[in-house]
Structure 1
Amino acid sequence: MSSHPPRATRSQGRRRLAVGALVTALFGQLLAGTAVAAPSSKTPSPGRIAWQPCASPSGEGTFECATLKVPVDWKRPHGATIDLALARHLATDPERRIGSLLINPGGPGGSGVGFAFSAPDSFSPELLERFDIVGFDPRGVGLSNPVMCDSDRVAAQGALLYPDSASSFADLREANRALGENCRDLTGPLVDHMDTASVIRDMDAIRAGLGEKRISYYGVSYGTGIGQQYAERYPHRVRAMTLDSNMDHSLGTWAYQKTETIAMEESYGQFADWCARTPSCVLHDRDARALFDSLYQRADAGELVLPGDPPYTVTTQDLQSIAFGYMYDPASWFQFAEDLAFLDAADPAAARSLKRRGEPTEFAYLPVMCQDYDFDVPSYATLARYERELARLAPVTRLSSLAWTDLTGCQNWPTKVTNPPHRLRVDGTPPILVTNSRYDVATPYSWGSNAARQIGREAAFLTYDGVGHGDYWLSPCARDAIDTYLLTLKTPRKGAHCPAVWPTGPSAQRQSPTGLVNPLPELLGTGTHR
C-alpha cells in the first residue's frame, strides 16, 4: 500500500459511558495507590470483597464499588500486586436473587466497570431482577493500573502499520519494540503479564471474593476469550456461561488474517445488498460494491481529497477503517451510505465520517494481543504475500483493518507470547451457550462455530442470521435465548437460528432492536476494539 496514516489505535476513541472524572471520583479512595505495590509478605487472601455504595454516572440503579488485590505475576503470588476495580448493580428482586453475573464487554481494553454501570439500560429487567451484575476493569485497563505509553511513540508506531517495503517493515519492527519497551518503563512489570491466562486467574479471585462456589458469566467479543479459557481451567466453577461473538484462540497467523478478511468482505456485501433493496438508502440506485472500489482506487492514487484548511487526503487505510467500523451494527448503515456518497462527491461534510481522534496514553490492546497470539512473520516478503492473497479473497474491501494492524502491530513486540494459541479443551462444565452472528466483522462466524466445536458436547451453538457484533443487542430472539439460558439453564435446541433484523429507517438513538441500549459503541468505539 502506498501511504501510511497514523493509526486509530484500539485504545483511542473509547467513548466510555461518560464515566470519566465521575468514576475516578467514585473510586478515588478505593484506588489510592493502584500503581504496582511493593512485594507483599503473604499470598493475597481470597477473602470477601469489601463493597461500598457508589453511584453510576447516569444516577440510575443501585451500585456498589470495590477493589481486589491480585498478584502482578500469578507464578509469584507473594510478589508485587495491583488493585482491580469492580462495580456491581445489585439485583432488584433480592429475594429471588440467583447469584452474581460477571460480565466483560471485550476489547481487550474495554471497561467492565463502565459495562456494569450501563446495566440498567443494557440488560433486560429479568436479568436485573435476578442477578447482581458485576463488572471489573481487567488488569492494565481503565481503573485497574492502566498500561501507560508515550503518546508520541504510539503515534510513531501507528504511522508504520501498513509497510510497503523491506525498509518500512524494518522501521515498523523497530518502532514496535521501542513502544513496548516504553510501555514497560512507564507502567512497570505488569506489561509482561497482560495475557488472558492471567486475567482468568484474576476472575477466579473475584469469584472467590464474591463468595460464589460457581459463577455465571456473560462475555462478548474479546470477553468470550476470557470465558472460554476460564471454562477450560475452572470447569467446575461455572454455573452458566454465555459467549457472544466469539474469539478463536486456536488460529495461526494466516488463518486469522484469512477469516477476518472474508468476514469483512461478506459484511460489506450484506450492506451493499441491503442498500440495493432499501429505497431510503441514499445509494439505492448505485452499485455500492463498485462505489467502494472506485473510492479505494482514488485513495490509492492520492486523489481522494476533502476540501479544508488544510485539505485532507483520504488514504486506503482510512477508507477500510471507516467501513470496518460501520459493520458492527446495521443501525448505522443509513449514515454509512451518506458518508460514502459524501466521500464520492468530495463534499467537505464528509470529513465528519473520519472521526479523527487524538492520541491517548492508555494502551492496553497490543500488550494483551501480542501475548495471546504469535503473529511474527519472518520477512516483509511474507507480509506482502499475505496482502496480495487477501486482496484476491476480498476484491472489494481488500483486507480487515483490525486484523491487519493486529498482525503488523505485534511484529518484534518485546514481551513474550505467554499464552500461545491452542485448541480449547473444555471438560466438565454445565452447558455453555455460544452465539455468533452470521456476518460479524470483528469475530467471524467461523470463529464462533469453531469455538463451539472445540468446546464439544458442553456447547449449545445459536446462530444469528444477520450482520453485526454483539447478538444480545442485535436480535430480540438472541436476547430472549440468552436471558432464558442464564435464568433457567435451558439452552436453545440444537442447530437453532435467529432471523436477521434489518434497519428500516434512520435513527438518531443507539436503541437496539431488542429495546435495550447497546453499550458497546460507547465503551469501546466501533472499529477500534473487539
Structure 2
Amino acid sequence: MHTLLALVMVAAGPVPVATTGLDWQPCGTEKGVSCATLTVPVDWARPRGATIGIAIAKREATDQAHKVGTLVFGPGGPGDSGVDRVVGNAGRFRDLRARFDIVSFDPRGVGGSSAMTCDPVLMQAAPDPVLTSAKQFQETLRHNRELWADCERRTGPVWRHADTLSTVRDVEALRKALGERQLTFHGSSYGTLLGQEYASRYPGRVRAMVLESVTDHSSRDTASFLSAQAWAFEDAFDDFLATCPECAEPWQRLYADPGRGGMTRFDLIAITHKLLKDGEYERLAALIKSGQGQHVRLDVVIPAFCADWSLPVHSYADYRRILRQAERVAPDTHFPAQAFALTMCLGWPHVTNPQHDLDVRTRVPLLLLNSRHDPATGINWARNVERQLGSRGVLVTYEGTGHGSYSLSACMREIADDYLVDVTVPARGISCPR
C-alpha cells in the first residue's frame, strides 16, 4: 500500500467467476502466455450479421491462489496492438502480474483483428500534412476520397465500423467471454477514450479503471481541438527550452527554413513532438544544434480516428483561420503535430462518435494519470476530463515530462497498482515528483 498519501478506501467488488468462453492456445515463447479469437459482429446494430475475429492475448497471473481477477489493457493509437504488448512486452505490468491475468487485444482494424489494408502507393502519395494553398486543399480532398474507396474495397465492411463505440461493445463481449462480473481496465492514451466510453455505457460493470495519458473528447469544433493540442505542445516545448535555452533561436531558424536540414516544416514539428513525447531532451537538443532532422510518420488507423472526431474544415480559408488560432495559443511552436489529423480526415463522410461531454455514473471513481508536460495528451485535457467526471474521477499528476506516466514514475505506478488491486482511491490533488 502507498503509505505516504491520504487515501479513501472503496470495497473491491465481487470476485470474478471462473468460466470462460474463449479457446486459449499457447502463443509466443513464454510459459503462461496464450492467445484466442473473440468473434463479434462487424456491425453491432446487426448482431446476426457478418462477424469479425478480435485477436486476444493473455498472460496468466503468477500467483493464481491470490489472483484478484483479470486486468484488461486498452491500447493506444488508434493503431497499437494489445496482443503484441501482452506477448512481447510484459514489463509494463511487472508489479501486477502476480495478482492479475493480463489480457489485451488488437482493436478492430488493427493487427490480427481485420487490419486495415490500403494501396501502399496511394498511402505514400498523400499530400503534405500542412496545406499551403487552395489548390492543395482540393487535391487533398480528391486524394482522400480515392484512398478511402480503395481501403474500403480491400478491407471490407469493418472499414465503416472501426469507431470506439464499436470497440466498447467488443470489450463488453470480451468481459463476458472472460467470465468477469466487472471490468478491471487500464487504458493508455487513445485507450483512455475507450475506457471513458465504456464507463459511460456500462457504469455498473466497472470495478476499477485507470486512464493514463488522458484523451479529452469534448472539443466542440476543429479550432478548439487543434488549439488544445497546440497548448500542450507549446507547454512541453517550453519545458524543454528551460533545459536548453540556447536551442530556441536555432529551432526557429529551422522552422523558417526547414529545407536546409532536409526536412519539411511538418517534419520539424513531428520530430520535435516525438522526442518531447518520449522525454528525449538531449536528443532533441542535439538535433536542433546539428540542424539535421528526419522524416516521422504519425500513423493512426484512419477510420477509427476519423469516425471518432468531427473535425470539419470547409475551405482553405477556414483551414488557415484554424491554424492561425492555434499559433496565437502557441507562438513558439506555431502549430501542433496533430494538424495532420485535419488533412487526414478532410472530407470524411460518416462520423459515428462525435465529441461530447462525459456522463459517467460509476460507483468507483476513475483514476486519471497524466504527466505535467505531455505534448500528446496535455495536462489541460486531463484536467478537463476530471472536471467532466466530477466526483467520479480523480487526477494524479506526474510533475515531469513525457507520454505514459505509469511507465515513467515508480510513484505513479504504485498509486495505480494500489487502486487496481484494492480499489484504493487517492485523495484529490495528489502528484508525484519528477
Correspondence list, 1:226-375, <5 A: 226-251=194-219, 252-276=221-245, 287-299=246-258, 302=259, 304-305=260-261, 313-330=262-279, 332-343=280-291, 350=292, 354=294, 365-375=301-311
Q: How does 1:23-172 map to 2 (within 5 A)?
A: 48-55=21-28, 59-60=29-30, 62-125=32-95, 127-157=96-126, 159-172=127-140
Deviation at 1:164, TM superposition (A): 1.2
Measured after TM superposition, the shift of residue 428 of structure 1 is: 2.9
1:176-212, Cα deviation, whole Å (9 max, x unpaired): 1111111111111110001100000000000000000
Secondary structure of 2:39's aligned partner: strand
TM-score, reference length from structure 1: 0.76
2:270–2:296 CA contact under 8 A, matched in 1:
no
CA-CA distance at 1:292 after TM superposition:
0.8
Structure 2 match to 1:417: 351
Is the CA contact (8 Å cut-off) linking 1:140 and 1:194 kept in structure 2? yes
How far, CA to CA, are the matches of 1:139 and 1:407 in structure 2?
23
CA distance in 1, matches of 2:372, 2:223: 21
CA shift for structure 1 position 438: 1.4
CA distance in 2, matches of 1:120, 1:62: 12
Describe the SS at the equivalent of 2:55.
strand
CA distance in 1, matches of 2:135, 2:257: 25
Q: Deviations over 1:133-177 (max 9, x none)?
A: 0010000101111011111111222x2422211111011111111
How far apart, CA to CA, are the structure 1 residues paired with 2:296 and 2:374?
24
For 1:21, the equivalent position in structure 2 comes to none
Contact 2:74–2:82 (CA under 8 A) maintained in structure 1: yes
CA distance 1:47–1:499, shift in 2 (3 Å)? closer
Q: Secondary structure of the residue that 1:441 maps to in structure 2?
A: coil
Deviates more, 1:420-429 or 1:240-249: 420-429
The CA distance in 1 between the partners of 2:20 and 2:406, in whole Å, is 33
Task: Give % identity.
Answer: 40
Distance in 1, Cα, partners of 2:48 & 2:30: 40
Matched pairs, number: 415
The alignment yields a C-alpha RMSD, in angstroms, of: 1.7
CA contact (8 A) 2:109 2:301 kept: no
Asked if structure 1 preserves the Cα contact closer than 8 Å seen for 2:70 and 2:103, the reply is yes
Contact 2:182 2:205 (8 Å CA) reproduced = yes
4+ residue stretches of structure 1 with deviation over 3 A?
Answer: none
Q: Is the 8 A contact 2:206 2:362 kept in 1?
A: no
Q: Which residue of 162, 166, 174 corresponds with 1:206? A: 174
Mapped to 2, the partners of 1:222 and 1:97 lie a distance apart of 28
Partner Cα distance (1:497, 1:216) in 2: 23
SS in 2 for 1:164: coil
Quick one: distance in 2 between partners of 1:391 and 1:254? 11
> Structure 1's 484 and 61: CA in aligned 2 closer, same or farther, altered over 3 A?
farther
Give unmatched runs, 5+ long, in structure 1: 1-45, 277-286, 306-312, 344-349, 501-530
Q: CA deviation at 1:468?
A: 1.0
